[in-house]
Amino acid sequence: MEVSMVTCAFRPSAHAKDRMIERGISRQEATEAIVKGVKRQNGPRIFAQLRGIEVVFVQRPCNHYVVTLYRR
């Protein structure tokens, strides 16, 4: 499963933005997990994990809609 952020936008939901602040996860860390992390898919949701951070997102053409994220 290949994910490219070169032409795709990072679009966190309001919930994801709250979790980023609450859990001290930067936009850069979340983006890096999406691009470089180990991925698994459950329905339309993709779970990307890298360096103790897991990002749950839905990929659409040129957009990554982040549902939530947390530290593992």
More confident residue, 62 or 37: 37
How far, in Å, CA of 48 to CA of 39, rounded?
4
DSSP string, 24-52: T--HHHHHHHHHHSEEEEETTEEEEEETT
Which of the pair, 52 or 64, is modelled with greater confidence? 52
The per-residue pLDDT for 70 is 81
Q: Please give the average per-residue pLDDT across 32-48, as a whole number.
A: 94
pLDDT at 7: 56
Q: What is the CATH number of domain 9-71?
A: 3.30.2310.20
Q: What is the pLDDT of residue 50?
A: 96
Each domain of the chain, given as residue ranges in start order, spans: 9-71
Over range 32-61, report the average pLDDT. Answer: 93
3/64 Cα distance (integer angstroms):
9
* pLDDT band with cut points at 50, 70 and 90 for residue 62: confident
Q: Which of 49, 51, 54, 50 is nearest to 70 (CA)?
A: 54
